[in-house]
């Protein structure tokens, strides 16, 4: 789905609510009307920074802030996380039974178990999230907020280069802002939501894609996206890296990993390390 297409429905795994341990170390601030979480980098670098585009939960779960803290500490760069949902977050407590039903990969469920999990997901979307919430927080609106903050970081705060890492809902933003007409210079996308082939064909910035082993939201598009990225690399000489070796993972593992599973924990940790290395090389 393109940025102009309006609201998109999250897949079942978008609603998984695994929480990372610990408490956020940063602070909330505002720039040009956009509220954001700031994880300050210890290096004090005022020329380079990272923007993080969150998943569907936004600041409704602590994970987004904790991931930002990790990147700030390990890259030395400040990380800015725009509030894509403008204070209006999904209440995970009201969909806990649906979250429990989709905690494990679908391939580990019986046929009827898969049907029950998906049916429960649809019911939860209709009753507890609803079309009005999805309309208020469309991909187009989230993209606008990310672009506005990123532009202000360059024009008002003087940053010269910006890297973007996006997850799920924010992963789509990471693809869109890897296009030529963007304030972002380097992009990393974790398991994006629905996109079009044209979205991938438009990439013109160094781009890294991190795939889940099983992804209800992206698996149908993946072969076409990978072919498009090969063309971007060969035809336009754009640095492109794809990681598709994340055992045990489903859509959402990059920001909501089930750390009780050793394979998921390993995939989560190596993906963070690879993202750090990508920014060190290209940002």
- pLDDT per residue as tens digits for the range 49-63: 999 999 988 998 899
- Pairwise pLDDT comparison (227 vs 257), residue with the higher score: 227
User: What confidence score (pLDDT) does residue 126 get?
Assistant: 74
Name residue, tokens 């980098």: 41
Residue 6 has pLDDT above 50, yes or no: no
For 219, counting Cβ atoms within 10 Å of its Cβ (0-12 exposed, 13-18 middle, 19+ buried), the class is middle
Q: What is the mean pLDDT of the chain?
A: 88
Confidence bin at 90 (pLDDT 50/70/90): confident
Quick check: is 100 in a domain?
no
Domain that holds residue 149: 3-89+137-282
Provide the whole-model pTM.
0.88
Neighbours of 66 (CB within 10 A): 19
Quick check: is 23 in a domain?
yes
Confidence bin at 99 (pLDDT 50/70/90): low
Please compute the mean of the pLDDT values over residues 74-84 and round it to a whole number: 98
Kindly report the CATH number assigned to the domain that includes residue 57: 3.40.50.1820
- C-alpha count within 13 angstroms, C-beta hemisphere, residue 222: 20
Quick check: is 128 in a domain?
no
Quick check: is 97 in a domain?
no
Confidence bin at 148 (pLDDT 50/70/90): very high
Distance from first CA to last CA of the chain, Å, rounded?
28
Overall number of domains in the chain: 1
Q: What is the pLDDT of residues 176-227, one digit of tens each?
A: 999 999 999 999 999 998 899 999 999 999 999 999 998 888 989 999 999 9
Quick check: is 117 in a domain?
no
Q: How far is CA 74 from the centre of its chain?
A: 19
Confidence bin at 91 (pLDDT 50/70/90): confident
Confidence bin at 233 (pLDDT 50/70/90): very high
Confidence bin at 133 (pLDDT 50/70/90): confident
Confidence bin at 100 (pLDDT 50/70/90): low
- Pairwise pLDDT comparison (94 vs 256), residue with the higher score: 256
Query: In Å, what is the CA distance from 243 to each residue of 69, 74, 138?
Result: 23, 20, 28
């Amino acid at each position: 789905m393109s940025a102009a297409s309006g609201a998109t429905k999250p897949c079942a795994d978008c609603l998984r609510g695994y929480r990372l341990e610990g408490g956020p170390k940063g602070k909330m601030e505002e720039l040009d009307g956009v509220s954001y979480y700031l994880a300050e980098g210890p290096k004090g670098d005022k020329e380079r920074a990272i923007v993080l585009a969150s998943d569907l939960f936004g600041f409704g779960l602590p994970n987004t802030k904790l991931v930002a803290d990790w990147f700030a500490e390990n890259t030395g760069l400040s990380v800015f996380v725009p509030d894509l949902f403008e204070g209006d977050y999904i209440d995970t407590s009201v969909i806990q039974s649906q979250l429990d039903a989709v905690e494990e990969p679908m391939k580990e469920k019986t046929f009827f178990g898969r049907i029950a999990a998906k049916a429960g997901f649809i019911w939860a979307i209709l009753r507890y999230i609803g079309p009005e919430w999805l309309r208020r927080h469309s991909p187009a609106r989230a993209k606008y907020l990310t672009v506005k903050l990123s532009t202000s970081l360059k024009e008002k705060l003087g940053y010269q280069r910006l890297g973007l890492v996006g997850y799920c809902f924010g992963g789509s933003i990471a693809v869109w802002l890897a296009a030529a007409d963007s304030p972002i210079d380097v992009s990393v996308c974790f398991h994006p939501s629905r996109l079009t082939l044209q979205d991938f064909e438009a990439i013109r910035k160094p781009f890294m894609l991190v795939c889940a082993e099983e992804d209800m939201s992206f698996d149908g598009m993946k072969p076409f996206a990978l072919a498009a990225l090969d063309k971007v690399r060969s035809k336009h000489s754009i640095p492109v890296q794809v990681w598709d070796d994340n055992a045990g993972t489903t859509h959402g593992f990059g920001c909501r990993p089930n750390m009780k599973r050793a394979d998921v924990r390993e995939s989560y940790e190596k993906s963070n390390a690879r993202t750090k290395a990508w920014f060190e090389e290209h940002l």
